[in-house]
Amino acid sequence: MEMDYLRKPSWIRVRLPAGQEYGMVNAVMRKHKLHTVCEEALCPNISECWRHLNATIMILGDTCTRSCRFCAVKSGKPGGIVDLEEPKRVAEAIQELGLRYVVITSVTRDDLEDGGASIYAETVREIRKRSKNTLIELLIPDFNNNVKALEIVVDSKPDVIGHNIETVKRLTPLVRDARAGYEKSLKTLKTIKELNPEIYTKSSIMLGLGETVEEVVQSMIDLRKVGVDFLTLGQYLRPTKRHLPVKEYIPPERFEELRRIGENLGFLYVASGPLVRSSYLAGEFYLRALIEKHV
């Protein structure tokens, strides 16, 4: 029997979307015709994050050229279409909301020569023009390990660049699109550090897909070998019946154990818990890590 049809454990609790701040974020995103990964990926934390004015804006449209088996974002053929005004609208929305920390992510765009890197860079520049004190995190695709594309993104000087490894090596072919890859993701993160060692890097692993603790720890070791600074660990939740089933609901004490292991491995900060996501209250995690580093 698939685990998803059983009652979710008590530690998986999600607040229903509501509140003045939630409504404000929603209204501003609609006004500027922007997508958020919070909505497109059916994130369970949308209410809490929007209530704290934390949002993850998804650029380069809402159609991904890849089809990972865990992700609710629509897949298809965008046909090379790019909205050149999008970076400006993103920056205007951030200014209007007064965000102190923002995460910019995107669908994967294998149909574009640079994978959309130039749009990422232009978005950072537009944000800097209007909101000089806003901390910017980019959560990027692998750009097919195109060094020139990664260089474009790195040169725009965001505060953090993240790329998610998603799962352990053994499960990667089952969980991710065939055009993604475990080593490919590690190379993406390694290249970012080689291009600019001063930029913080970040990655994320989903648990509950059938991995072992030993495999998770090995993935953490692999991420540290390529210089990753921040790590998030969260419970995989099946977005629809078309997606991979949950194999196990991981108890909070195991997340806590993995957090301690990660910190001992040298990550500046490890956010680990059932409802943690790669951009979950990202500003809080980033600032705490930064403060701890300089103590």
Taking the C-alpha atoms of residue 119 and residue 28, their distance in angstroms, rounded to an integer, is 21
**What CATH number is associated with residue 174?**
3.20.20.70
Residue 81 confidence (pLDDT): 92
Q: What is the model's pLDDT at position 36?
A: 65
Distance CA 61, CA 243 (A): 22
pTM of the model: 0.87
At residue 21, the pLDDT reads 58
Q: Tokens for 140, please give them.
A: 């990027």
Place of tokens 């200014």: 95
Q: What domain count does the chain have?
A: 1
Strands, E assignment, the chain: 35-36, 56-59, 101-106, 135-139, 160-162, 200-207, 230-235, 269-272
Write out the chain's pLDDT in tens, 295 residues: 344 444 677 767 655 545 555 566 667 767 877 766 554 444 555 555 555 556 678 899 889 999 888 787 888 999 999 999 999 999 999 999 888 888 899 999 999 999 999 999 999 999 999 999 888 999 999 999 999 999 999 999 999 999 999 999 999 999 999 999 999 999 999 999 999 999 999 999 999 999 999 999 999 999 999 999 999 999 998 877 888 899 999 999 999 999 999 999 999 989 898 888 666 555 566 655 664 565 4
What is the C-alpha to C-alpha distance for residues 177 and 266, in angstroms, rounded to an integer? 30
Rounded CA Rg of the chain = 18
Please provide the DSSP assignment of 226-294 as one string.
Answer: TT--EEEEEE---SSTTSPPP--PPPHHHHHHHHHHHHHHT-SEEEESTT--TTTTHHHHHHHHHHHHT
Domain membership of residue 105 as a residue range: 3-293
Half-sphere exposure of 229 (CA within 13 A, CB side): 20
In 3D space, the residue among 183, 187, 182 whose CA is nearest the CA of residue 168 turns out to be: 182
Structure-token pair, residue 115: 């994978």
Which pLDDT score, from 0 to 100, does residue 119 have?
98
E-strand stretches of 67-133: 101-106
Q: How many angstroms separate the CA atoms of 226 and 201, rounded?
A: 10
Report the distance separating Cα 38 and Cα 21, nearest Å.
Answer: 15
166: helix, coil or strand?
strand
